[in-house]
């Protein structure tokens, strides 16, 4: 009996007749019952390798062994039969269906091969939920539950199919810190129950908490296997990107004007599910040129509604948002962009990209009707290509094929780079940025943080929303804390502590520091 759950021998995967080599001669061994991390930069080939294991791709060459036996995994159904399950970075759920319907889809129990036996399905799911402490409302519709709960549904899907080898592809990229802690506990519980877990992640602190071994993949090649327990965070980061990571921090230089560039006045927004209840209530904020103001808070306390109100994605109940002497709440989204607003949205798929358009089309999508990209209705493809390729190079967008690749085909991290690059490079005075480094590797995070700080140095006003306290504390001049839709406190970024911010986030106290820009 083999001690390995998964073995890859000389796995190579190429696309476009060898023009793109995603994986090259990879040898990898995953021990049974361990949590094995795959780490590397965006586009390194981690997800491609796991897609081969799950049957979504076929290797160009090489051998796969499961529990010591050589296998051909022709499709995900075959993978399921071999005991392999995968939680994808972007969930594969039917929004209008219930939780239990999503979990049982394709493997439904029936009575007489005709009628769904939903009572049996729910009973079996209840046993699984109790065993692994993975509780979720089975009757709720997917569209009505949180992202964290949707991820639990994805995990329950593979457990319901009796998977023993579980692949988690960037599972924490869309979760809040509280949800991440819950997921890591679930992973450890699954390991205790004898499951083998392959964990793709860019977040080294998470890897340190749960993984036994980490394999570094760089440019499609395996670099090294690391014993996680004996390696420092900085050593793992350096192995990932091939160089030492430099921490980027705000220098807290004084703002360049005492005239606010953005004024949010008594802004109230109703909840999406019930407009009679305020998600954001009489919120006030002044943002100045040459300043980064971060909004901190537990997810679901009004941050999403604040961003969507300012950028025009939802209607408000009352208040005003003043930018360049105009109330944005009565202006179109197009007008807001023309006034000089850039927006990096929290959900890059829903609001940030046209997934079935090329990378270069996405980069110019908001300015295609402006010179030099078009003139008198005629498209200037040469200008578009030149502009897009400069952003692709600066932001190291991998897999874009010089801009002609479809956006859907990029890894999540490289999709994020496209959105961030587009919004930072176009003309603007105000930058609204939500979760800018979601799904990015440590090297890309370093670069994006430097770019955001450069915005401040250029005199731009930056409103930052992030669930990463480390990110907020590295970048913000001021930190505004929101709880239950209300501003509960404000602290200076310089000298701020996690304990102080955390106390405000939970609504236990209200505290406001004297801010000093001298």
Q: What is the CA radius of gyration of the chain?
A: 24
Same fold, 4-241 and 262-340+427-505: yes
Helices 177-192 and 118-132, packing angle to 10 deg: 90
pLDDT at residue number 273: 64
List the chain domain ranges: 4-241, 262-340+427-505
In the chain, what is the greatest distance between 2 CA atoms, to the nearest angstrom? 78
Hunting for tokens 């049982």 — which residue is that?
A: 104
The domain 262-340+427-505: what is its CATH number?
A: 3.40.50.300
Over the stretch 259-306, which tens digit does the pLDDT of each residue have? 999 999 999 998 876 667 888 999 999 999 999 999 998 878 899 999
Q: Which of 296, 285, 281 is nearest to 261 (CA)?
A: 285
117 and 109 Cβ atoms separated by less than 8 Å: yes
For every residue of 54-117, which 3-state class applies, written as one string? CCCCCCCEEEEEECCEEECCCCHHHHHHCCEEEECCCCCCCCCCEHHHHHHCCCCCEECCCEEC
User: Of 3.40.50.300, 2.40.50.140, 3.40.930.10, 3.40.640.10, which CATH number belongs to 4-241?
Assistant: 3.40.50.300
* Positions of the chain with pLDDT lower than 70, given as ranges: 273-275, 507-518
Q: Say if residues 438 and 416 touch (Cβ distance below 8 Å).
A: yes
Q: What residues does 265 pair with on adjacent strands?
A: 320
What are residue 315's phi and psi, to 5 degrees? -85, 150
């Amino acid at each position: 009996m083999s001690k390995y759950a998964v073995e890859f021998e000389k796995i190579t995967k190429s696309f476009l007749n060898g023009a793109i080599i995603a994986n090259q001669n990879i040898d990898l061994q995953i021990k049974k019952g361990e949590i094995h991390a795959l780490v590397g930069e965006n586009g390194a080939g981690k997800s491609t390798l796991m897609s081969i294991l799950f049957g979504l791709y076929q290797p160009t060459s090489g051998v796969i062994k499961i529990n010591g036996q050589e296998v051909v995994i022709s499709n995900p159904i075959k993978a399921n039969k071999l005991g392999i399950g995968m939680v994808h970075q972007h969930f594969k759920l039917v929004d209008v269906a219930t939780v239990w319907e999503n979990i049982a889809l394709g493997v439904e129990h029936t009575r007489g091969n005709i009628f769904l036996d939903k009572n049996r399905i729910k009973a079996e799911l209840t046993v699984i939920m109790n065993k692994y402490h993975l509780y979720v409302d089975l009757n709720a519709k997917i569209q009505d539950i949180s992202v964290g709960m949707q991820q639990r549904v994805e995990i329950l899907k593979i457990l319901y199919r009796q998977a023993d080898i579980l692949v988690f592809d960037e599972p924490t990229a869309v979760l809040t810190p509280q949800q991440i802690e819950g997921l890591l506990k679930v992973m450890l519980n699954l390991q205790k129950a004898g499951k083998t877990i392959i964990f793709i992640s860019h977040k080294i602190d998470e890897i340190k908490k749960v993984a036994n071994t980490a394999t570094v993949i760089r440019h499609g090649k395996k670099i090294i296997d690391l014993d996680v327990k004996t390696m420092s965070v900085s050593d793992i980061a350096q192995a990932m990107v091939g160089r030492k990571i430099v921490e980027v921090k705000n220098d807290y230089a004084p703002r360049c004007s005492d005239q606010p560039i953005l004024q949010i006045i008594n802004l109230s927004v109703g909840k999406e599910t019930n407009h009679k209840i305020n998600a954001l209530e009489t919120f006030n904020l002044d943002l100045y040129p040459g300043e980064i103001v971060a909004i901190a808070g537990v997810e679901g306390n009004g941050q999403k509604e604040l961003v969507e109100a300012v950028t025009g994605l939802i209607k408000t109940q009352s208040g005003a948002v003043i930018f360049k002497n105009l109330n944005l709440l009565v202006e179109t989204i197009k007008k807001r962009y023309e006034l000089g607003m850039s927006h990096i949205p929290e959900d890059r798929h829903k609001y940030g990209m046209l997934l079935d358009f090329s990378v270069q089309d996405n980069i110019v999508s908001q300015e295609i009707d402006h010179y030099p990209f078009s003139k008198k209705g005629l498209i200037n493809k040469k200008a578009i290509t030149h502009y897009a390729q400069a952003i692709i190079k600066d932001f190291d967008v991998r897999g874009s094929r010089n801009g002609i690749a479809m956006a859907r085909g990029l890894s999540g991290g490289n999709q994020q780079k496209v959105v961030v690059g587009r919004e930072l490079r176009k003309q603007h005075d105000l930058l609204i940025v939500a979760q800018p480094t979601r799904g990015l590797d440590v090297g890309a995070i370093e670069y994006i943080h430097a770019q955001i700080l450069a915005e401040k140095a250029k005199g731009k006003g930056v409103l930052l929303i992030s669930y990463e306290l480390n990110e907020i504390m590295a970048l913000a001049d001021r930190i505004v804390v929101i709880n239950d839709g209300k501003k509960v406190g404000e602290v200076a970024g310089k000298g701020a502590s996690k304990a102080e911010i955390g106390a405000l986030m939970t609504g236990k106290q209200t505290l406001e520091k004297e801010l000093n820009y001298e």
